[in-house]
Amino acid sequence: MQKRIFFTYTILLLVGIIISGVLTLGFIKGSYLKAMERMLISSGNLVNQFIEDKIEEDPFYNINFSELAHKYAKQANARVTFINNNGLVIGDSEIPPEQLPNIESHLYRPEVQAALKGSIGRSNRYSATTQVNYLYIAVPIRVKGRIFGVTRLAFPLTEINKLNLKLLQSTLIAALCGLVVATILGYRYVNNVTKPIKEITKSAQKIANGDFKNRVYVKSSDEIGILADTFNLMAAKLNETISELWDKNTKLQSTLASMNEALFAVDNNYKIILINPVAKSLFKICDEDVIGKHILEVIRSNKLHEILKEMLNSQRVGQKEITMDYPETRILKIYTNFIRLDRDPNRIIGIMALIQDVTEMRKLENMRSEFVANVSHELKTPLTSIAGFIETLKSGAIDNEKVRKRFLDIIEIETERLGRLIDDLLSLSAIENNKFSLTREEINVNEVITEINDMVEGLVTQKHIHYHVEVEASLPPIVGNRDWFKQMMLNLIDNAIKYTPEGGTVKVLAYKKYDNLFLVVKDTGIGIPKQDIPRLFERFYRVDKARSRKIGGTGLGLAIVKHIVLSLNGEIRVSSELNKGSEFTVRIPLLGQRS
């Protein structure tokens, strides 16, 4: 800006000097010509006065005009020419007398014509005789009202041109000096004018880069000073507004980040205007900048898009529950509401959606329903059997000792079955509700496995099972509920023995590796189909329900095992092949056991 102003200022100054110089030269030249005309006219009148006096003494044609021309030319410092009334040159200060007859007639020269008519003739013209530009002044020679001829004085314009050249040189020198001085002063003036503007520009750039506390300091009472004051006021207001917006945005982002539910908002063109981290995590959104993008570009769910579209078109909001298959199968509950302008509540600018992931909730509800149904079924079957035999006994069968004994044995078996079921339910409930039980003690793994070996010895012998135990000596103790740990191992070993046919093999391994305790129970039993392994630890889930009931299983043993493993911060894995056997591996970390 400074360069542009300075350049414009210099050009205007130069144009002004040129115009002033041209006008001045023209004025000086015109004034000089007029002064020369007046001088030549005055000289011509003086010459004519002398000639008129001589004409009264001698006849006109007896006067030696060549001599007079030379004489008066020196006095007037101009060329003097005498012309008779016929246009013939009878004397000239620059032409010898003998050459005068050779000069052409001057009768039709404009200045001569004007003089012969009684007025003073003027003309600027090139002289073919002397080959010089002249200013001609012709004055009539008049005696007693009769014009005898013309006295013409000529001043060479070369002198005027020389004078004009000197004036031009002087003017150019003066203009150059003036231009230099004016340029220096103008540069300082332009610099003083543009300096505050530069300061304002720098401050504006700093504010644009986020330094809202920057201010301009200009000592001036003119428009620049007013501009600086207005700029500072604007910067203060902007700083206050930005700080307020920043504070609100920080609070909004903190609120959105602390929410447990997914939240996003779209405008009427289904472009995202707000989204929280939970929503990004829910929909596996990796792109950090999604604001302004279409919802299908970000979430890629036609179901969700159709719901939002339907709500905007119908002007009705509420809640919906949908199942999404991408990026993974989830059940989502969506609560929606319109986004309205504060100043115009009737105008809807978008829609906001609050999303709850109810996948686990629905799974738990289904599991609870199945659990209630299974418990009811498991309780109803023995109760129905007991009620039936009691009714039969009451109807008269009690009098038959053999029938009575058989029925009472069956009732006893079913009662024991009910007892086991209730015990398992109570154990499972206790484990679930006391995952971090207050009863935490050091558990001697070798000792517990030895106790279990004694407990299953009779069953192993009865089924002729090859039972092998390989336990590292002096295994490190683990911290937890000893009774739960014992029940976990007993359930795994008992299941392996129950589902292994006579003559089969059951192995129990216990060893330490990489700061972990590994417990492995392997058998050569009936095995588990691959499709059933993921549901193996669900309550009342049985691979072969008829066989499980026949051997007295309640369907809760492995569910109890899973929860005990979790209470020890461990994990359990199953590998199995149908009709070849199964292997259950429990890993319990030793680090952090004493915390």
**285 and 378 inside one domain:** no
Is there a single domain that holds both residue 331 and residue 440? no
Question: What pLDDT was estimated at residue 547?
Answer: 46
pLDDT tens-place string over residues 348-382: 888 888 888 888 777 777 766 666 666 665 566 66
Predicted local confidence at residue 555, as pLDDT: 65
- 37-59 per-position pLDDT tens digit: 888 888 888 888 888 877 776 67
171 and 21 Cβ atoms separated by less than 8 Å: yes
* pLDDT tens track for 214-242: 777 777 677 777 777 887 788 888 888 88
Q: Which two tokens stand for residue 311?
A: 């709500």
Lowest-confidence pick of 12-21, 90-99, 346-355, 484-493: 12-21
d(C-alpha 262, C-alpha 275), whole Å: 8
Is 203 a member of any domain? no
How would residue 421 be classed by pLDDT, with cut points 50, 70 and 90?
A: low
pLDDT per position as a tens digit, 476-496: 999 888 888 888 898 899 889
Q: Write out the two tokens for 327.
A: 């990026």
- HSE at residue 206, side-chain half, CA atoms within 13 A, is 16
Residues 328 and 414 in one domain: no
DSSP result, 307-372: HHHHHHHHT---EEEEEE-SSS-EEEEEEEEEEE-SS-TT-EEEEEEEEEE-HHHHHHHHHHHHHH
Q: Which domain does 559 fall in, by range?
A: 436-589
User: 341 and 372: one domain?
Assistant: no
Classify residue 243: in a domain, yes or no. no
- 388 and 282, same domain (yes or no): no
CATH code at position 340:
3.30.450.20
Helix and strand totals (H; E) in the chain: 14, 17
Interior angle at CA 137, CA 131 and CA 142, nearest 5: 130
In this predicted structure, what is the pLDDT of residue 582? 92
* Same domain, residue pair 443 and 423: no
Residue that terminates a domain, selected from 349, 371, 399: 349
Supply the Cα-derived Rg of the chain in whole angstroms.
Answer: 63
Residue 430 confidence (pLDDT) above 90: no
Helices (H), 502-550: 545-550
- 579 and 519, same domain (yes or no): yes
Give me the pLDDT at residue 248, please. 83
Which span out of 181-195, 408-422, 483-497 was modeled with the highest average pLDDT?
Answer: 483-497
The answer to whether position 232 is within a domain reads no
Nearest CA to 81 out of 159, 143, 138, 158 is that of: 138
Can you read off the two tokens belonging to residue 275? 């989204």
Q: Are 551 and 464 in a shared domain? A: yes
User: Which residues make Cβ contacts (< 8 Å) with residue 70, sequence separation at least 6?
Assistant: 80, 93
8 Å CB contact between 484 and 564: yes
User: Is residue 235 one of the residues assigned to a domain?
Assistant: no
Q: In what order do the strands lie in the sheet with 516-523?
A: 466-471, 505-513, 516-523, 581-589, 571-577
Instruction: Tell me: do 467 and 541 sit in the same domain.
Output: yes
Q: Where residue 397 sits, what CATH number does that domain have?
A: 1.10.287.130
- Residues near 399 by beta carbon (within 8 Å), at least 6 away in sequence: none
Q: Is residue 186 part of a domain?
A: no
Distances (CA, A) of 371 to 87, 175, 367: 148, 109, 6
Query: How far is Cα 447 from Cα 431, in angstroms, rounded to an integer?
Result: 22
* Residue type present at position 104: E
Q: Can you state the angle between helices 401-433 and 557-567, rounded to 10 degrees?
A: 20
> Nearest Cα to 581, choosing from 468, 461, 500?
500
Residues 484 and 519 placed together within one structural domain of the fold: yes
273-281: long-range pairs with CB below 8 Å, 24+: 273/350, 274/352, 279/355
Is residue 320 assigned to a domain? yes
- Is the preceding peptide bond at 327 cis, omega within 30 degrees of 0? yes
More confident position, 159 or 265: 265
Q: Could you read off the pLDDT of 125-145 as tens digits, one per residue?
A: 777 766 778 888 999 988 877
State the pLDDT at residue 171. Answer: 73
- Residue showing tokens 């414009």: 8
CATH classification at residue 455: 3.30.565.10
Of 163, 180, 203, which residue sits at a domain end? Answer: 163
Are 59 and 97 part of one and the same domain? yes
Q: How far apart are CA 563 and CA 435, in angstroms?
A: 8
Residues of the chain with pLDDT > 90, as a percent, come to 8
The per-residue DSSP string of 249-305 comes to: HHHHHHHHHH-SSEEEEEETTSBEEEE-HHHHHHTT---S--TTSBHHHHT--HHHH
What's the order of all strands across the beta sheet hosting 79-84? 89-92, 79-84, 146-156, 132-143, 121-127
What lies within 8 Å, CB to CB, of 582 at 6+ separation is 496, 499, 522, 523, 525, 527, 528, 574, 575, 576
Most confident of 29-43, 89-103, 177-191, 299-313: 89-103
Mean pLDDT across the chain? 79
**Domain boundary, last residue among 163, 198, 226:** 163
Q: What is the pTM of this model?
A: 0.43
Query: Are 222 and 228 within 8 A, CB to CB?
Result: no
> What is the total count of domains within the chain?
4
Residues 374, 303 within the same domain? no
The verdict on residue 277 lying in a domain is yes
Judge whether 339 lies within some domain. Answer: yes
Q: What is the per-residue DSSP string for 196-251?
A: HHHHHHHHHHHHHTT-TT-------SSHHHHHHHHHHHHHHHHHHHHHHHHHHHHH
Per-residue confidence (pLDDT) for residue 510, from 0 to 100: 94
Does 347 score more than 70 pLDDT? yes
* pLDDT the model gives residue 572: 92
